[in-house]
Amino acid sequence: MTPTDPSFTQQLTTRPTPVAERQAMLANPGFGNFFTDHTAIVDFRADESGEGGWYGARLEPYGPIALDPAAAVLHYGQEIFEGMKAYRHADGSVWTFRADANAARLNRSAVRLALPQLPEELFLESLRQLVGVDVDWIPSGDGESLYLRPFMIATEAFLGVRPAREVSYRVIASPAGNYFGGEVRPVDIWVSRNYARAGRGGTGAAKAGGNYASSLAAQLEAEAHGCKQVLFLDQANDNAVEELGGMNVFFVFRDGSLVTPALSGTILEGVTRSSIIQLGRDRGLTVTERTITLEEWRGGVASGEITEVFACGTAAVITPIGRLRDGDEFIGAPDSAAGEVTMSIRTELLGIQTGVVEDTHGWLTRLV
Ligand code: COI
């Protein structure tokens, strides 16, 4: 195949998950617990000069990956991934949201992690192939979808520190409900003072597994303090708010305007983040990407200038933030209700994704 040939071969499972078992999983999917029957795969090989191409596009039964113990991903973490969702519409058709943005981000991450870029046609076709055969795995409850996890790993068996010349791109799928479990309700957030997620020139803007690995010690600290997620600051820059462990942050101000931290090279450019910026502007709201410090958060909540704060991401959609906990200090009220603006943007975004609100920006791509 040529580097951009998107034709896949299909080897379907001879042992699909029994219907009753699948239905039990779909009845209460949670997040990231269950996986569909197949996986899409495309491999890459380069020669010593770095020239190479993608080959062997195929659909296989879901199962363990055979990796050489010396595979570079296991030693140097050369890995990137994406998070997307497939939504079933009322007429039975299945759509995904802003796939072009995810394809572009995967390739920006690939450049940063010295992995090969994947042609957008291959990316899209891998989603079509997988969702096409595992279409019965899409849950249909409110806010539910099939989470798609494209990822790329360095498979070459070589312990020298250089970009691997053998790489595998794969997609798995997982029925998904609310990321935080149960109904949508405000979550409390822990301010990380001991750990940073990213630094200037680092990999913070890439969707690389290592960023998430480095967030886990802080996440444990958050949980030990009764919080669901951790907030990372740029402590060298007036405690500028960056992002949560795996989500961007938005502030709603009293005048209805929205503020989100500017992309500084250390923050992940969330597809949900950029969609909310657009939807806010469509509503005539002022939406600003700028530095917002912990001090402004504290002061704004105390004065009533900041009326709502929410987290957003593909997995979390839009999740209201309740209290922020900084050591022994709490910012915000306990048991606060989800904000009106937060929930109305959430409803609009989910409405577009599930086909009940008009997609005026052409964000949806049909998969099935
Ligand atoms: C997503 O929102 O898709 C994410 O990647 C966040 C997290 C589950 C890693």
Q: Which regions of the chain carry the CATH code 3.30.470.10?
A: 9-176
Secondary structure element (H or E) that encloses residue 275, with its range: helix 271-282
Residue-level pLDDT at 5:
64
- Pocket flag, ligand 1, residue 196 (CB < 6 Å): no
Instruction: Tell me how far the alpha carbon of residue 366 is from its chain's centroid.
Output: 20
Q: Which regions of the chain carry the CATH code 3.20.10.10?
A: 187-354
CATH architecture of 9-176: 2-Layer Sandwich (3.30)
Report d(CA 88, CA 148) in Å as an integer: 14
- Pocket flag, ligand 1, residue 83 (CB < 6 Å): yes
Sign of torsion over alpha carbons 86, 339, 281, 239:
negative
Report d(CA 332, CA 335) in Å as an integer: 9
- Pocket flag, ligand 1, residue 314 (CB < 6 Å): yes
CATH architecture of 187-354: Alpha-Beta Barrel (3.20)
pLDDT in tens, 178-207: 898 888 899 999 999 999 999 999 999 999
pLDDT in tens, 19-64: 999 999 999 999 999 999 999 999 999 999 989 999 999 999 999 9
Residue-level pLDDT at 138:
98
Distance 113 CA to ligand 1 centre (A): 18
- Measured by CA distance, the residue closest to atom 6 of ligand 1 is 246
Distance 15 CA to ligand 1 centre (A): 29
Q: Which residues of the chain have pLDDT under 50?
A: 1-2
- Pocket flag, ligand 1, residue 313 (CB < 6 Å): yes
Give 104-126 as a DSSP string. Answer: HHHHHHHHHTT-----HHHHHHH
Closest ligand 1 atom number to CA of residue 31: 8
Distance 245 CA to ligand 1 centre (A): 9
SS3 129: helix
Report d(CA 225, CA 248) in Å as an integer: 21
Distance 48 CA to ligand 1 centre (A): 34
Are the C-beta atoms of residues 129 and 59 closer than 8 Å to each other?
yes
Residue-level pLDDT at 4:
58
Name the residue of 247, 267, 272 whose CB sits within 8 Å of the most ligand 1 atoms, as the mutation to test its pocket: 247
